[in-house]
Amino acid sequence: MALLFRFLQVLSLLLLAGAVAAEHTSNWAVLVSTSRFWFNYRHLANVLSLYRTVKRLGIPDSQIILMLPDDMACNPRNAFPGTVYSNADRAVDLYGDNIEVDYRGYEVTVENFIRLLTDRLDEDVPRSKRLGSDAGSNVLVYMTGHGGDQFLKFQDAEEIGAWDLADAFGQMWEKKRYHELLFMIDTCQANTMYTHFYSPNIVATGSSEIDQSSYSHHADNDVGVAVIDRWTYYVLEFLETQVTSATSKLTLGDLFDSYDESKIHSQPGVRWDLFPGGEQEGRLRTVVDFFGNVQNVEVENANATDPGSLKEDLAEIAQLVEKWRKRDEEYSAILGDSSKNHTADAPSSHSLHLAPKKTVGPTKMAEDNSWSKRLVGLSVVGACTAIWVAGSILGHSSV
């Protein structure tokens, strides 16, 4: 009975998944700090805090691209060598012992960033430096640094414009490199950076309006620099205190509603219009859809009729089931016959007839009626297949 219940549960989940039309199968995160130099410590701390959060919520290092243009932990000015903190309480060492920086130092350039997004990389670039997302991936892109009206400075040497970024995302969409994309940016005049986005399925949010500065939150008087920016600080506060596990049901709406301008000291912005269903639909996305690691499975070619396809398999299974049923019936008939026929015979012959079968057959584990179990199993498999087929047909038609 418990087994049945379990199956029902799985079925209902599958049904639900079918109902939620847009379903993703993997999560990727691209976390970028664009500024170097000791006094920009906070930008690296921002990114490392986000890195820690997405790891906490389950995205593995292999699916996080971390770009750090400078090494604060080993800067000679760092009073606490080998560490990076994003809070003056210094409770969590963000640099820790488990950190994978994929692009570091002068590798963090506009070119590399755009090549990474659009996967225009040489063949010899290792997997760790590639964004392996596909049409089923939800991608989180977080950027921080010094910016201005429609640009973000990279390393004091170059800058990425709002159009560059929009085109990169446009290309990603063309190349089916994301399913949904959450773009977050913490820099001065951040909201100008997503004004030109045009590809669908993007939710974008930034820390400040045009002509507004984004401010740092607080400084650590022993490290001697500001350790985190305000917007990132409050986003993190939400993520750390509210989104405590990968199963959190909090939505992006909750996250964006948590913005408090009096604390952030600038006006954060959100852009919904590229998202199918707009704000209403977008707000329903859970935070962990982007920050967590959801492992849905999508079955491809559900309706195909080629050899080896699901339909054929199902038909074959049904035939097999039918065959077994017939054999069983035959077998039981034979058994009945023999018992009828050989009632007069010595019981030894009966045991002799059954003995080889018993040695070969599986050991009986329980005293249940095996027939009823098989029946239940069969019916469940049948129902399951039926629902599966129905669900995938429904799912397919609505996509």
Partner 1 sequence: MSAAIRNLRNNPKLLFVRLPNFLSFLCIVVGVVWLLLLPLNDYSRKTYISENALLPGQVHAYFSGSEQNVFRGYKQELDGLLNEGRERGGQKDDAEVTSTVSGKVQSIFLAVGLKIATQKYEYTSAGITHQGENVYAIIHAPRGDATEAIVLVAPWKTADDELNLNGVTLALTLARYFKRWSLWSKDIIFLITPDSKSGTQAWIDAYHDMHPESVQPLPLKSGALQGALVIEYPFDHHFNTLHIVYDGVNGQLPNLDLFNTAVSIAGGQMGIGSNLQEMWEHKDSYEHRLQTIFRGMTKQGLGYATGAHSSFMPYHIDAITLQPKGHGWEDEMALGRTIESICRSLNNLLEHLHQSFFFYLLMQSNRFVSIGTYLPSAMLIAGNFTIMAIALWLRTGYYLENKPKAAAQPKDKKKSVEPTAQAKGNGVEERHLALPLTLVVGLHLLGLVPLWMFNTLFHQYFTMATYIFVVVDIVLPLLLAALLSNGLGPFAPIIPQQYLLIKSFSLLLLGLSLSTLATLNFSLSFMIGLLCAPLCFITRLRTSSAPLRCSVSGLGLVLLNLLSPPTVLLGVCWYTGVSVETVLTQAAFGWDVWGMWTQVVVWCVWWPAWLIGCVLLGSSMF
User: Is residue 222 a contact point for partner 1 (CB under 8 A)?
Assistant: yes
Which residue among the candidates 146, 196, 265, 350 is catalytic per the annotation?
A: 146
| Residue 308 near partner 1 by CB under 8 A | no
70: Cβ–Cβ under 8 A, 6 or more apart, which residues?
A: 33, 35, 36, 37, 38, 40, 44, 105
Q: Is 77 in the site for partner 1 (CB under 8 A)?
A: yes
Q: Which of 1, 2, 16, 79 binds partner 1 (CB under 8 A)?
A: 79
- Site size toward partner 1, by CB under 8 A: 16
Q: By CB under 8 A, which span of 168-176, 224-232, 246-254, 325-333 interacts with partner 1?
A: 224-232
CB atoms within 10 A of CB 96: 13
Which residue, chain included where needed, has tokens 């087929």? Answer: 389
Query: Which of 43, 179, 188, 217 is flagged as catalytic?
Result: 188
Q: Does 106 bind partner 1 (CB under 8 A)?
A: no
What the block records as the tokens of 246 is 């990968």
Candidate residues 37, 106, 198, 324; the one interacting with partner 1 per rule CB under 8 A: 37
Measured distance CA(141)–CA(67) in Å, rounded: 11
CB-based contacts of 46-51 (< 8 A; 24+ apart in sequence): 46/86, 46/144, 46/186, 46/228, 46/229, 46/232, 47/142, 47/144, 48/84, 48/86, 48/94, 48/95, 48/99, 49/86, 49/94, 49/228, 49/232, 49/236, 50/142, 50/232, 50/236, 51/94, 51/99
Of 101 and 226, CB closest to partner 1: 226
Residue placing its CB nearer to partner 1 in the complex, 88 or 321: 88
Q: Is 74 a catalytic residue?
A: no
Counting contacts by CB under 8 A, is residue 307 touching partner 1?
no
Does 225 help bind partner 1 (rule: CB under 8 A)? yes
Both structure tokens of 76: 């000679």
39 scored as a contact of partner 1 (CB under 8 A): yes
Q: What are phi and psi of 146, to 5 degrees?
A: -105, 130
Which one of 73-81, 179-187, 315-323, 391-399 is the stretch in contact with partner 1 (CB under 8 A)?
A: 73-81
What's the CA gap between 332 and 338, in Å, rounded?
A: 10
CB of 38 to partner 1, least distance (A): 6
For residue 217, indicate whether it is catalytic: no
- Integer-rounded Cα Rg, in Å, for the chain is 29
Residue 376 in the binding site for partner 1 (CB under 8 A): no
Single out the residue of 221, 348, 359, 363 in contact with partner 1 (rule: CB under 8 A): 221
CA–CA distances in Å: residue 235 to residues 18, 151, 318: 31, 22, 53
Binding segment toward partner 1, per CB under 8 A, in 18-26, 35-43, 53-61, 319-327: 35-43
Binding mask 309-328 for partner 1 (x = CB under 8 A): --------------------
Interface residues with partner 1 (CB under 8 A)?
Answer: 37-39, 74-79, 81, 219, 221-222, 224-226
So which residues are the catalytic ones? 146, 188
